[in-house]
């Protein structure tokens, strides 16, 4: 039964007098269907107030969450992609890049920056899924490599926030080379004793999972994130068996030993701060213990 009954018939409102409902005033959770105001949803860092479903957000939101007062310096902000293969699918690759840049306001699928997180210097690279599916092309690889170099030069911890469909097919082999390049840079970071935290968000798949996303000193994830290499359909067809429940969810991946912990977005900044302060404790502690023991013995 309708809520309102139109008593008078034949009412016509000219288009210019029609009142429009502003777009995006309400948010409906895709998981539990609960409806909240967009303002409240944003205040809750785009996680559902009712079921804690973590909505996908991009570098703008993560930088705002992690950097103190949203103050940071972006690195290589204007690096954009070339077209090494003259690639054309439904449209030429350069046109696709320009159209995506216009639609998203981003230059490519990753943004890198440095700033302070609870007073501690950190370099962060964060991927954006709405730029061609967060695909990893040469710009993504190069920006991550340079951000790692920045972390090495400034002796700051490095954090990677991944959100990707995998390699960018329009750059084919050039995309795959980024896996080796970023991995090599991370090895140098590790040799120099600097911490690397990798956070996998929904979704992290393909060549990204197979390179930098899984190479963290700490591999962490957001609740419910899809994490995998190949898609479930491909795996199912290959092994000829049904896949277990929750397959490729962050919780499943954690249970099978690929993650260190899952972190709620609302606790992310504090947890990272605690973790970094814990691992950067000066190495003087064991000395003290020794001295105490020595005193006892004498
Ligand atoms: Zn929900």
**Which residues lie below 8 Å from residue 270, measured CB to CB, with a gap of 6+?**
118
pLDDT at 13: 75
- For 279, the token pair is 């691992």
CA distance 81 to 235: 32
Ligand 1 centroid–CA 53 distance in Å is 5
Ligand 1 centroid–CA 89 distance in Å is 37
Ligand 1 centroid–CA 33 distance in Å is 6
pLDDT at 225: 97
Ligand 1 centroid–CA 222 distance in Å is 15
Q: Is residue 133 within 8 Å of 164, Cβ to Cβ?
A: yes
Ligand 1 centroid–CA 55 distance in Å is 9
pLDDT at 282: 61
CA distance 229 to 70: 33
CA distance 23 to 92: 32
Ligand 1 centroid–CA 265 distance in Å is 15
Q: Which residues are annotated as a binding site for Zn(2+)?
A: 29, 32, 48, 51
The model's pLDDT over 119-170, given as tens digits with 9 standing for 90+, comes to 999 999 999 999 999 999 999 999 999 999 999 999 999 999 999 999 999 9
Ligand 1 centroid–CA 297 distance in Å is 60
Ligand 1 centroid–CA 83 distance in Å is 41
Ligand 1 centroid–CA 171 distance in Å is 37
Q: What is the CA radius of gyration of the chain?
A: 23
Beta bridge partners of 117: 120
Ligand 1 centroid–CA 277 distance in Å is 33
Burial class (CB in 10 A: 0-12, 13-18, 19+), 146: middle
CA distance 23 to 127: 26
Read off φ and ψ for residue 47, nearest 5 degrees: -115, 145
DSSP secondary structure, 82-102, as one string: --TT--BSSSBHHHHHHHHHH
Closest CA to 85 of 131, 130, 137: 137
CA distance 182 to 198: 13
pLDDT at 14: 76
pLDDT at 290: 52
pLDDT at 260: 98
List of domains in the chain: 22-53 (no CATH), 56-279 (3.90.226.10)
Ligand 1 centroid–CA 87 distance in Å is 40
Helical ranges in the chain per DSSP H: 38-43, 59-66, 93-104, 138-154, 172-191, 206-209, 232-239, 250-255, 268-279, 285-297
pLDDT at 9: 77
Q: Which residues are annotated as a binding site?
A: 29, 32, 48, 51
Q: Is residue 125 within 8 Å of 92, Cβ to Cβ?
A: no
Ligand 1 centroid–CA 252 distance in Å is 20
Closest CA to 177 of 142, 152, 225, 205: 142
pLDDT at 298: 45
Ligand 1 centroid–CA 104 distance in Å is 26
pLDDT at 1: 63
Ligand 1 centroid–CA 99 distance in Å is 33
- Separation in Å, CA 228 to CA 74, 207, 210, 258: 29, 10, 9, 11
Consecutive H or E run containing 197: strand 196-204
Helical ranges in 127-205 per DSSP H: 138-154, 172-191
- pLDDT tens, N- to C-terminus, the chain (298 residues): 667 777 777 777 777 777 666 667 899 999 999 999 999 999 999 999 999 999 999 999 999 999 999 999 999 999 999 999 999 999 999 999 999 999 999 999 999 999 999 999 999 999 999 999 999 999 999 999 999 999 999 999 999 999 999 999 999 999 999 999 999 999 999 999 999 999 999 999 999 999 999 999 999 999 999 999 998 889 999 999 999 999 999 999 999 999 999 999 999 999 999 999 999 866 555 555 555 554 554 4
Ligand 1 centroid–CA 51 distance in Å is 4
Which pairing describes strands 120-127 and 110-117: parallel, antiparallel, or unpaired? antiparallel
Query: First CA to last CA across the chain, in angstroms?
Result: 90
């Amino acid at each position: 039964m309708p809520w309102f009954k139109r008593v008078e018939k034949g009412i016509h409102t000219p288009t210019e007098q029609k009142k429009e409902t502003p777009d995006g005033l309400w948010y409906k959770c895709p998981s539990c269907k609960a409806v909240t105001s967009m303002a409240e949803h944003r205040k809750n860092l785009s996680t559902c107030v009712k079921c804690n479903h973590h909505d996908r957000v991009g570098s703008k939101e993560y930088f705002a969450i992690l950097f103190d007062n949203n103050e940071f310096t972006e690195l290589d902000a204007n690096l954009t992609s070339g077209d090494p293969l003259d690639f054309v699918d439904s449209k030429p690759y350069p046109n696709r890049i320009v159209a995506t840049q216009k639609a998203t306001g981003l230059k490519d699928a990753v943004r890198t920056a440095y700033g302070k997180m609870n007073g501690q210097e950190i370099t962060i690279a964060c991927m954006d899924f709405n730029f061609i599916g967060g695909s990893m092309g040469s710009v993504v690889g190069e920006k991550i490599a340079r951000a790692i170099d920045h972390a090495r030069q400034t002796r700051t911890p490095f954090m990677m926030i991944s959100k990707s469909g995998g390699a960018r097919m329009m750059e084919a082999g050039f995309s795959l080379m980024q896996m080796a390049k970023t991995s090599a840079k991370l090895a140098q970071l590790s040799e120099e004793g600097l911490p690397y935290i990798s956070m996998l968000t929904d979704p992290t798949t393909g060549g990204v999972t197979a390179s930098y996303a899984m190479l963290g000193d700490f591999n962490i994830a957001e609740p419910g994130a899809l994490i995998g290499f190949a898609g479930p359909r491909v795996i199912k067809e290959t092994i000829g068996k049904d896949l277990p429940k929750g397959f490729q969810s962050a919780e499943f991946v954690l249970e099978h030993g690929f993650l260190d912990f899952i972190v709620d977005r609302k606790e992310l900044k504090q947890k990272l701060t605690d973790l970094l302060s814990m691992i950067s404790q000066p190495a003087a502690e064991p000395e003290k213990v020794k001295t105490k023991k020595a005193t006892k013995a004498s």
